[in-house]
C-alpha cells in the first residue's frame, strides 16, 4: 500500500482511535500490518513520530504530503540496526512458517538452541568467481577457528546468511550455497527463505552499504543488544580471546597489548595461560625461560618468494652463529591470516612438513600467541606482510628490532645482531663513499626550464640539491617535497645566486612528466630536470621508525644534497631549514656539511 494511502487511512481512523483506549504502539501495529510485514518487524521510529503528529493535530492528506516524502527519504537510514540497539533476534531468524535454522547435515535447530548465547550473524556473498571463493573460504576458516575454540563453553553460535546475486538463477544459488555451507559447522537461514535473508540484509544495512561480494559479521549478546555491526576484523585480530567481542573486552585487550609493547618480554609475547613453552621439531617441550638470555629471532613464515629468501639467509646465519657458540635462537611461527590462507594452505600437516626441515623451535600450530604477536608488530596486518616476518629480541628483551628481515637480506651475517644501530654503521659508510658522479652517465645532458642544455660535466665543483617530484602517477604521494619547502628552497636559491654559497638544483621526476604542483611553485626557476629513468643508481632506501613498530617504505628520499667535492652530505625524507639548533637563524645555508648527514642517520636509523 502506498505511504500516502496509509496516511489517509490514519486520518480517517483518527476519531475512532481518539475515542478508544488504544495506545500509539497498538495503532502503529494495526497500520503497519496493512502496510508491509517487513516494516512491521522493524517498527521504524519515523512512523511512530508521524502517527503521534497525526493524533495530536487535525491534518489532511495534502498537509502531510511533504512530511511523508521526507519520512520515506530517511526510512533507509533510520530503519538500519546499529551497534547498541536492542532487538528480538527471534523476529529476524524465525518466521511463522519456519521455527528452525538448518545445519549442513540437514539437521534442524530450534530457537531454544540459541538461548543464553552470544550470536554471530555471518553475512557472506555466495561466490561467483574462483578467486573470491578462495578468499571467502579463507575468511570462513578463521571464523571456524574461533567457533571451535568457543564450543566447549557452549556460549556461542553463528548463523550464516547467504547473499545472492539477482543475476544468478535460483538453482545456481542453491548449488553455491550447498558448496559454501558444506565447510561450515554452524547454523544458517535456509537459502530458500529469501524474505528472511533480505530482511536481515536490509535491517543491518548490508546491501545498502555496498558490502556485496565481501563478508560481514554482526554480534548480538544474549539480551538482544547488538555489540558489533562488523566484527570480522576482531575475529581475525583476537580470535576466541575477544569473546564476547564487546567494546569493553576489546578495549581491555588493546590496553594489555599496549602495555606489552611498552615493556616487551618473551614471556609476555610467547606464552599463553595454558602454555609456557615452545616445541622442537621432534615435539619436545622447551620452556621459554631457558632461552630468554639469548638473542631470539621470531620468524613468521609465509610461503612467498621474499619470505623464502629470508629463510635461506636465516638458516645460514643460524648455522654460522652456532659454530662460534653465539647465543642465538629462532622461534618459528606459522602464519594463519586471510592472506596466508589465500596464498597457501595452512594445515597442521603442512606445518609439521615445513617445521621438520628447520633446526630451531616453534610455537604450536594455531597457537593464540600468533595473533598477539601480529597485533603488536603488525607482521601480517591487513594482508600486508609488513616487515618480511622477522623480529629480533635482545637478551631479556633489552631491545626489540622489528626490521630484522630488511637488515638480514641487505647485510647477511655481517649485520649481526641485525639491529638498526648496526645497519646505521653500514649505511653511514655507504653514503660517505657515495659521489654525485655515480648517479648519471658522463655524457648526460640536462635541460633547464627555459630550454637551455647543460652537460653533466659542468656541475663539477658545484654544490647540488636533488629534489624529487612526481606527476601524480607515482604510487606514494606523501614521499615527495611539499609546497612549503619548495618555496623556501626557491628563496634560498635566489639569495645565494652569484655568491660563494650558490648551488644548483636538479628536479628528479618520478613519472612520465613534471609535476604541475612543482611547476606552479618553482616553474620560473632555471633548475635542471632529470627523469628517474636516467639515474644509474636508485636513491631509494628505508626510513625506519620506533614504536609502534611501523616501516615506511620509500620510493625515494625527498631531498639529496652533494657538496662541491661531489660527496653526499644530506639525504632526508623530511626536508627543512631548521633541523639543527646549533646553527644560528641568520645562517641561511642549506646544510652542505657531512655532519648533517651523520646526525640525520643517527636520528632515523636507530
- Model confidence at 77, in pLDDT bands (50, 70, 90)? very low
Torsion of CA 496, 497, 501, 506, to 10 degrees: 100
**pLDDT for residue 205 is more than 70:** yes
Asked if 220 and 118 touch (Cβ cutoff 8 Å), the reply is yes
Mean pLDDT of the residues in the chain: 75
Asked if 552 and 563 touch (Cβ cutoff 8 Å), the reply is no
Residue of 473 and 460 predicted with greater confidence: 460
Least Cα distance to 249 among 260, 238, 259, 258 occurs for 238
SS3 558: coil
**Beta bridge pairs of residue 393:** 296, 400
pLDDT at 281: 93
Asked if 172 and 143 touch (Cβ cutoff 8 Å), the reply is no
SS3 79: helix
pLDDT at 338: 56
Strands 453-455, 384-385: pairing is unpaired
- Tens digit of pLDDT for each residue in 12-65? 444 444 545 555 445 445 544 444 433 333 334 434 444 444 444 444 444 444
**pLDDT for residue 221 is more than 70:** yes
Residue of 170 and 529 predicted with greater confidence: 529
**pLDDT for residue 543 is more than 70:** no
Q: Which of 22-31, 255-264, 423-432, 485-494 has the highest mean pLDDT?
A: 255-264
Residues 513 and 177: their CA atoms lie apart, in Å, by 50
pLDDT at 533: 83
Q: Please, what are the domains in the chain? A: 3-79 (no CATH), 89-242 (3.40.30.10), 263-417 (3.40.30.10), 436-604 (3.40.30.10)
**pLDDT for residue 570 is more than 60:** yes
pLDDT at 471: 60
pLDDT at 539: 65
Least Cα distance to 334 among 284, 288, 370, 387 occurs for 370
Q: How many Cβ atoms are within 10 Å of 115's Cβ, its own excluded?
A: 10
Q: Average pLDDT, stretch 413-438? A: 81
- Model confidence at 329, in pLDDT bands (50, 70, 90)? very high
Residues 190 and 194: their CA atoms lie apart, in Å, by 8
Task: Supply the DSSP symbol for 549.
Answer: T
All three cell numbers of 587, joined, read: 645562517
Which stretch of DSSP H or E encloses residue 135? helix 130-150
The answer to which of 41-50, 303-312, 320-329, 345-354 has the lowest mean pLDDT is 41-50
Angle at Cα 52 formed by Cα 47 and Cα 55, nearest 5°? 130
Amino acid at each position: 500500500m502506498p505511504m500516502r494511502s496509509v496516511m489517509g487511512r490514519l486520518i480517517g481512523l483518527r476519531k475512532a482511535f481518539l475515542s478508544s483506549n488504544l495506545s500509539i504502539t497498538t495503532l502503529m501495529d494495526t497500520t503497519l500490518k496493512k502496510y508491509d510485514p517487513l516494516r512491521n518487524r522493524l517498527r521504524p521510529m519515523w512512523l511512530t513520530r508521524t502517527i503521534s503528529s497525526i493524533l495530536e493535530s487535525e491534518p489532511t492528506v495534502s498537509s502531510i504530503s511533504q512530511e511523508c516524502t521526507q519520512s520515506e527519504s530517511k526510512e533507509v537510514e533510520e530503519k538500519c540496526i546499529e551497534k547498541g540497539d536492542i532487538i528480538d533476534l527471534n523476529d529476524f531468524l524465525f518466521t511463522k512458517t519456519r521455527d528452525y535454522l538448518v545445519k549442513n547435515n540437514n539437521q534442524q535447530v530450534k530457537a531454544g538452541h540459541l538461548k543464553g548465547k552470544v550470536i554471530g550473524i555471518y553475512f557472506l556473498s555466495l561466490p561467483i568467481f574462483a578467486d573470491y571463493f578462495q578468499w571467502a573460504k579463507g575468511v570462513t576458516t578463521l571464523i571456524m577457528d574461533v567457533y571451535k575454540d568457543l564450543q566447549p563453553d557452549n556460549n556461542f553460535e553463528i548463523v550464516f546468511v547467504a547473499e545472492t546475486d539477482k543475476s544468478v538463477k535460483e538453482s545456481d544459488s542453491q548449488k553455491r550455497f550447498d558448496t559454501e555451507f558444506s565447510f561450515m559447522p554452524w547454523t544458517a537461514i535456509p537459502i530458500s527463505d529469501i524474505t528472511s535473508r533480505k530482511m536481515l540484509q536490509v535491517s543491518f544495512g548490508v546491501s545498502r552499504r555496498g558490502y556485496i561480494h565481501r563478508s560481514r559479521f554482526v554480534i548480538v549478546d544474549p539480551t538482544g543488544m547488538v555489540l558489533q555491526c562488523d566484527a570480522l576484523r576482531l575475529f581475525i585480530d583476537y580470535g576466541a580471546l575477544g569473546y564476547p567481542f564487546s567494546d569493553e573486552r576489546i578495549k581491555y585487550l588493546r590496553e594489555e597489548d599496549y602495555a606489552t609493547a611498552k615493556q616487551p618480554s618473551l614471556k609476555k609475547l610467547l606464552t599463553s595461560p595454558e602454555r609456557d613453552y615452545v616445541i622442537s621439531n621432534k615435539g619436545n617441550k622447551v620452556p621459554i625461560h631457558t632461552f630468554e638470555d639469548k638473542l631470539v629471532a621470531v620468524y613468521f613464515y609465509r610461503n612467498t618468494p621474499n619470505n623464502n629468501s629470508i629463510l635461506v639467509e636465516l638458516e645460514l646465519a643460524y648455522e654460522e652463529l652456532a659454530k662460534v657458540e653465539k647465543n642465538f635462537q629462532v622461534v618459528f611461527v606459522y602464519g594463519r591470516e586471510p592472506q596466508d590462507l589465500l596464498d597457501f594452505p595452512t594445515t597442521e600437516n603442512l606445518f609439521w612438513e615445513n617445521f621438520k626441515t628447520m633446526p630451531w623451535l616453534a610455537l604450536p600450530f594455531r597457537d593464540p600467541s600468533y595473533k598477539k604477536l601480529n597485533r603488536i608488530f603488525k607482521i601480517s596486518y591487513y594482508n600486508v606482510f609488513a616487515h618480511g616476518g622477522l623480529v629480533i629480541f635482545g637478551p631479556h628483551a633489552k631491545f626489540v628490532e622489528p626490521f630484522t628481515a630488511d637488515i638480514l637480506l641487505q647485510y647477511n651475517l655481517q649485520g649481526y645482531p641485525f639491529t638498526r644501530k648496526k645497519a646505521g654503521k653500514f649505511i653511514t659508510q655507504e653514503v660517505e663513499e657515495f659521489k654525485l658522479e655515480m648517479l648519471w652517465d658522463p655524457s648526460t645532458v640536462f635541460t633547464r626550464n627555459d630550454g637551455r642544455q647543460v652537460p653533466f660535466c659542468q656541475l663539477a665543483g658545484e654544490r647540488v640539491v636533488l629534489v624529487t617530484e612526481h606527476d601524480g602517477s607515482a604510487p606514494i604521494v606523501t614521499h615527495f617535497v611539499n609546497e612549503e619547502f619548495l618555496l623556501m628552497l626557491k628563496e634560498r636559491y635566489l639569495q645565494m645566486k652569484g655568491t660563494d654559497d650558490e648551488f644548483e638544483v636538479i628536479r628528479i621526476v618520478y613519472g612520465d612528466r613534471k609535476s604541475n604542483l612543482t611547476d606552479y611553485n618553482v616553474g620560473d626557476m632555471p633548475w635542471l630536470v632529470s627523469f628517474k629513468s636516467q639515474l644509474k643508481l636508485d636513491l631509494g632506501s628505508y626510513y625506519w621508525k620506533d614504536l609502534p613498530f611501523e616501516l615506511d617504505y620509500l620510493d625515494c628520499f625527498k631531498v639529496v644534497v652533494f657538496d662541491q667535492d661531489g660527496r653526499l652530505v644530506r639525504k632526508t625524507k623530511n626536508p627543512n631549514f631548521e633541523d639543527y639548533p646549533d646553527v644560528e637563524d641568520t645562517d641561511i645555508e642549506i646544510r652542505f656539511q657531512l655532519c648533517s648527514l651523520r646526525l640525520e642517520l643517527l636520528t632515523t636509523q636507530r
